[in-house]
A and B are shown apart, each in its own frame.
Chain A
Amino acid sequence: MEEKQLHDDLASIRNLMERSSKFISLSGLSGILAGIYALIGSGFIYYAMRPVMSRFPLADNETITFTDDFWGETSFINILVLVGALVLVASVATGVFLTIRKAKKKGQPVWGNTSKLLLFNMAVPLITGAAIVLILISKGYYGIIAPASLIFYGLALLGASNFTFGDVKYLAILEVILGLAGALFPVYGLLFWAIGFGVLHIIYGSIMYFKYDG
């Protein structure tokens, strides 16, 4: 056996082991954009809602009473949920679009074994998290929104990290830690949320972009 064939054999083993078991077409750029959407969303909530926020101590477990006619409690929560949903939809749409583009370039099927495993492993913790957040919102526990969404998102990423770039694991752990910190200091929920979904996504997206997107 010639040396060249030997090295080709090894390269092909390595390449197939990775390509068959990991979805390596995730786009780093979409992480950066998702982070920017999250920052815009939390910035909007912070500034537009400031008059309410001051009377809306998220840490307070006692009943919150609203005298403000313009921003009632219900409309505040509606807007919070609406902005969150908009950020989510925009991020997912961007992610799907850029990932399809990258998969085409890499010659990896977008809807193959690996992407199915990736999505399934993310979906279970994400849907559980979304459900518990919505249930608690309906019962008036608003302080749970930021920490719970960070923790469940982190757990979803941890599950997903087995099926894509291993680096995602570190992002996952950081999201969980931020979520737990957010649960300790609920007053700063929005700040933790902005760091977790905004700043961390931008940093990780940039790292992934320079490491793998080129």
Chain B
Amino acid sequence: MKYYTYFPGCSSSEGNSMAYGQSAQAVSGVLDIELIELEDWNCCGSTPYSSIDELSSFCLSARNLSLAEKRGFDLVTPCSSCYVMLNRTQSYLKDYPQVKANVDEALAAGGLEYHETVKARHLLDVLVNDIGYDAIRAKVKRELEGLKVASYYGCQIVRPRLGFDHPEYPESLDKLVASLGAEPVPFPLKSRCCGGSLIISNEAVALDLIRKLLESAASNGAECLVTVCPLCQTNLDAYQSRVNKKFKTDFHIPVLFFTQLMGVAFGLDDEELMLKTSIVPVERVLAKYL
């Protein structure tokens, strides 16, 4: 059994990507991983907070890191934005003594200290590097043979250089998909942006980016997309109908969390993986594997 401190982030815990959190826990169970949720964690603040008040945004992450430090395990999150914010805070604390001094003073107001010993990691990193493709393959009960999958990384799991995969041409998720028996298709835009939170404030801009991603995946024969981030999944899935309306396109590409696809291959049932929470139905392409 491997133990990690788990930081679900708002979307995957009780937000609109609960399916991600639940499927992450389910496949972790199969792989003998225990994800122990950090008690009373707070929101990472994401890009919005760091664009309004940077010091407060560092403090949001520093509180979580400080709480995690008491546990002594690596801190694992399934959300790319949480992953970037936690690591961004770590690098600023290390590189800028002035930031460190201010954050320490703010943490002290809450009776906390942080000694920079925690490693903040993305769930994909843990699954492919600590567990490994062979061990994942060994748990496959339903080979996803013939399923053509576009592995979508998005931005913040690989950029800025966070180390576990290439910042522009990552391959870990493709290899994971292949270890489930599925076929990763070429996907040139696999680490391009989904539009992020601009989908709310500037929808037209984000829809255009989403359209490009869907087009790239579809033109390479993908039957579905898998994502490693709650916001990427929401943008590609929930806004697919908006893309179709705006650009007179006809995309019907299901968008799964990578943990859901793993769960299907592991033989877990569709309710446990919350497959019905996908807006574009996944049953059509997954029917023969369920």
Whether both chains belong to one complex is answered with no
- Tell me the A residues contacting B by CB distance below 8 Å: none
